[in-house]
Structure 1
């Protein structure tokens, strides 16, 4: 399942017009069902395509977690430019998330889970940082051939991802944004 990590040199692809049309950030943020008092982690935040719109509507800190410091620097530059000051930047992989236990009640994991070498460890860590009853929104590429996204052999089907989440103690609801992208809302028990 684990693929090759995204290269920061390609960061402009994350905000391309084509990607914005395929994956509208406002629609994804709506799916999180955020309230002003939620504490949110964007796991695999990259250059902030989702982090910035989430942080704009929040009073509390939003945790932008990414393994790549260059991506977090890009995000920080954009946040400063947009005068957003409620983002905490955390350099971390998803198998050993550098956040306290029970810190957040919502987490977004968008298009990065297929890159994780140990899925069970990552899902255990995600569960650890969530408050009881916490919710994740996981977005991934369906295992279908498309021009955008990772190669087909690196993709995880929505069925398989749902199974992995259930095996790790999550209640799961699967939907599709379009034929090539699925969204899973998963809640801790």
Structure 2
């Protein structure tokens, strides 16, 4: 992934329920608009905090993370039956073309953002499928999350996704984060 990955020795912090102040389960599930049999990928899944929330609404959920150690932590916690772990970078996903109905990232976009990753997402998400991105905003005050120089703005993110062939359905800035719903 891009600038850095989340430190394994701090993985327990990924289970902190206060994360919901940046993106609630209800908000994420609503933005994804999944069918019951959907194949969906959690991009930068870490310990599965949001994967656990989305899995009941999907047919198959792929917990994608570049760090195998994060998958070990997730397995220790317990995987839902419909979750498959995938150790891969976003720029080289092991899925067939148009395999995914949707994909999402929560606070990980800044770790993988780049032309190769966006092209790969356009390849694996089927036409009409959704990509939901909630991440730290470069326009935020920087009180939480990574430093602002490691972040992207809402404008940069929407422009990058449009350049990769996504249509922006919804884009909004919030105090420290942004949320984008895009359709391939």
TM-score w.r.t. length of structure 1:
0.88
Query: How many pairs align?
Result: 183
C-alpha distance after superposition, 1:117-137 (max 9, x if no partner):
x61100011111111211100
Corresponding residue to 2:182 among 138, 161, 186: 186
> Residue in 2 aligned with 1:65?
64
> Quick one: structure 1 residues 110 and 78, their matched pair in 2 at CA, closer, same or farther if it must change by over 3 Å?
same
Instruction: Spell out the pairing of 1:67-146 with structure 2 (5 A cutoff).
Output: 67-80=66-79, 84-116=80-112, 119-143=114-138, 144-146=140-142
**SS of residue in 1 equivalent to 2:11:** helix
> Residue in 1 aligned with 2:6?
6
CA distance in 2, matches of 1:106, 1:121: 18
CA distance in 1, matches of 2:30, 2:77: 22
Contiguous gaps of at least 5 residues in structure 1: none
Deviation at 1:186, TM superposition (A): 0.9
CA distance in 1, matches of 2:41, 2:50: 11
Q: Is 2:28 aligned against 1:28?
A: yes
Aligned-pair Cα RMSD in Å = 1.9
Instruction: Spell out the pairing of 1:141-180 with structure 2 (5 A cutoff).
Output: 141-143=136-138, 144-176=140-172, 178-180=174-176
